[in-house]
Amino acid sequence: MSSSLMLSCETQKLSLTVMPSSTGFTSVQTWSCDGGCDISDKKLNTLKDRAREKIQMAHSLSVGGGGYVCPLLIREVFIQVLTKLQVCFVQCFSEADRDIMTLANHWNCPVLSSDSDFCIFDLKSGFCPLNGFQWRNVNTIKGTRDRYIPAKCFFLDALCCHFGIMNKTLLPLFAVLCGNDHVNLPVMETFLSKVRLPLGAANSKGRRHHRVLGLLNWLSRFADPTEALDSVLNHLPKKRRGTVKELLCRSMEEYVQAQGRLQDFFQHGAYTCPDTWNPGLPPWVLAALARGQLSPFISDALVLRRTILHTQVENMHRPNAHRISLPIRQVIYGLLVNAPPHVRNVAWDALPPQPPTFSEVERINKNIKTSIVNAVELPKDHSDLSKLTELSLASRQMLLLETLKVKQSLLDPVPAALKLPVAVSCYWVQHAEATLKLHHLQALLLGMLLGPLRAMASSPEEKAVRGGGAETLYAELQRVKAPPGTRLDLDTAHVFCQWQCCLQMGLYLNQLLSTPLPEPDLTRLYSGSLVHGLCRQLLTSASVESLLRLCPEAQQLYEHLFSATRSCAPAELFLPKGKLNSKRRKQKKSGISWSENRVGTTLNARSWHEGSNPFELLMVETLENEEAPELK
């Protein structure tokens, strides 16, 4: 079955549009997880709040508590899966919600999403919340071989009927009064404080649940949004009414259909979006963003000169893991600084003359701060972003490898699919903290064998030529994986988080340079449970040699990977433990710190300064049984 998808990435929101099939059931059509930040920055405070929440969840997970933090490269992995499945998709330039609604209504299909904002949008074929799917309950249609998964579908008309055939155009006002991603005015508490809660109900469902029901019942009395808005403003101080009205009206526009024709992308491979920013980016950049070949990280840096670095499950007592990849980001920023003048005019020319700098929102302990980062000054032949793709392959590859501090000759024995990960690993071992140990490097490289081993094991000559060695080793590596619930070694976790940050920025730089090195298969490149399990094995009983003796071909590949990275690693990494401790004592005695002997101390020069789903209650099954509070 042919499918097409739409995506946009800024947070981890997931949205899909599904098109009815001839059987009356559906096939996946579009996907979105919210794209680059809007140039108006209307969601900046929301994004910062979410970043703080992620830090708290990451900390909870790091000490054995609960929570959920998406892997750093989840977007890139998902795009690769879509590409392998030959699913067409488009990446939106910024907020995707209105585009999704417009496309879904054009195709007459429902939207699948975890974002409760779609409870407010007027979708012809409804909204299916992802948590309403019974994924493990696969059913067969009687008398056929067709199968389906039961799910719930939310219709706006049904909600409005429940509240006395309420005018659906009132729901955007309801959304902004409740407080959404775009508006959360403290002054609105003056109005919301008028809600009268029935006795006993607040204890059973909570104040927020009551507020939702109260607002819906109150709004159902009005014929249209204008009448309701006037009533809201009458509850506010006169001096605030004009400002509040302007903000509420502007926020309500977020729930109307977009003017863009996203369907054009699926027919012609390109589309325009007049509702979002149109900063005159080079055509190749716009095309690469729409196809998901460039990350929203790039568009945020290019248009806003600001990026958000997402926290992983790492050691919160150490500097955040993204600091290790700062030099790579500075090169990326250096390439983006050289955008054509008509691009820079959008957000930069309004500022007084200043050195090219970018803002990074990142973790500091268990909070966030905004750091100011200088872009690297690059050679003149990289001075025009619009002509970056015209540079020779050799020039683009040289810039990539110089940034990663690795020589081309070291990568010659490495298979093409692993050249970029190995180059990133060379950078990693040169910049990592003192907590990086030999068994960390060994575990990482052994994990990289998983993809090649799977290919070997599935080849026809596996048993005839290799005697089943690849299949046996693959099974052994699967067995080594750390089971769920295993206590996390924070130092080990932090080291591997640093590697993932290096890989992420190495990928982004490689993409910006039009992939002078082949993009690796991320779906089989790294497994956290495997590398953590291998670390435990290598520290106790197992050795690399004992594992690899099962498959000589894998052993030879490992030796190529290890040889390349060893050439870049500091000698201390390979010292026996006793000698390493002795060297550290000598350094301490002479007043030399371990970090001063390491590569990548540019962080010291940096200057620093401060820089949920609101409508999910609409989907509760008990809504119709609730006693509605009154708002007068």
pLDDT reported for residue 4: 42
448-473: per-residue pLDDT in tens? Answer: 999 999 988 888 776 666 668 888 99
Query: Of how many residues is the chain composed?
Result: 632
Instruction: Work out the number of other CB atoms within 10 angstroms of the CB of residue 483.
Output: 7
Q: Residue 424 is inside which H or E element, if any?
A: helix 419-431
**Chain center to CA of 180:** 21
Kindly report, residue by residue over 220-273, the tens digit of the pLDDT: 889 999 998 998 888 888 888 888 888 888 888 888 887 777 777 777 777 666
Q: Worst-scoring range by mean pLDDT, 45-54, 61-70, 129-138, 196-205?
A: 196-205
Residue 368, pLDDT score: 93
Angstrom CA distances, 286 to 82, 278, 303, stand at 20, 10, 12
Phi, psi of 547 (to 5 degrees): -75, -40
Give the pLDDT confidence score for residue 27 in this predicted structure: 46
Q: Does residue 3 carry a pLDDT above 70?
A: no
Among candidate residues 32, 3, 26, the one with its CA nearest the CA of residue 108:
26
pLDDT bin (cut points 50, 70, 90) of residue 165 is confident
pLDDT at 613: 59
Q: State the number of CA atoms in the 13 A half-sphere of 467 facing the CB.
A: 6
pLDDT of residue 601: 28
User: Are 489 and 440 contacting, i.e. CB atoms less than 8 angstroms apart?
Assistant: no
Farthest CA pair distance, the chain: 85
Give the three-state DSSP class for 236: coil
Q: Which amino acid is at 269?
A: G
Cα–Cα dist 31/411, whole Å: 36
Spatial CB neighbours of 483, under 8 Å, sequence gap ≥ 6: 529
User: Is residue 227 a contact partner of residue 66, using CB atoms and an 8 Å limit?
Assistant: no
Cα–Cα distance measured from residue 145 to residue 155, given in angstroms and rounded to the nearest whole number: 29
Confidence check: pLDDT of 439 > 70? yes
Residue 629 has a pLDDT of 43
Q: Predicted confidence band at 196 (pLDDT cuts at 50, 70, 90)?
A: low
Query: pTM for the whole thing?
Result: 0.82
Residue 195: its H or E element: strand 195-196
CB distance 47 to 36 below 8 Å: no
Q: Tell me the sheet residues that pair with 18.
A: 28
Give the model's confidence band at 627: pLDDT under 50 very low, under 70 low, under 90 confident, else very high: very low
Res 446: pLDDT: 96
pLDDT of 26 over the 60 cut:
no
Closest to 110 in 3D by CA, of 14, 18, 31, 215: 18
Q: How confident is the model at residue 21 (pLDDT cuts 50, 70, 90)?
A: very low
Return the pLDDT at 272: 67
Residue 605 has pLDDT above 50, yes or no: no
Q: At what angle do helices 296-304 and 490-512 cross, to 10 degrees?
A: 70
Query: What amino acid is encoded at 317 in this protein?
Result: H
Indicate the helix (H) or strand (E) that contains 2: none
**Rounded Cα distance, 425 and 573, in Å:** 14
Question: In 404-489, where does DSSP find H-type helix?
Answer: 408-411, 419-431, 438-448, 450-457, 462-466, 469-480
Can you give the pLDDT at residue 529?
Answer: 95
Residue 618 confidence (pLDDT) above 80: no
- Indicate the pairing of strand 367-374 with strand 357-364: antiparallel
pLDDT band (50, 70, 90) for residue 485: confident
Identify the pLDDT of residue 231.
Answer: 87
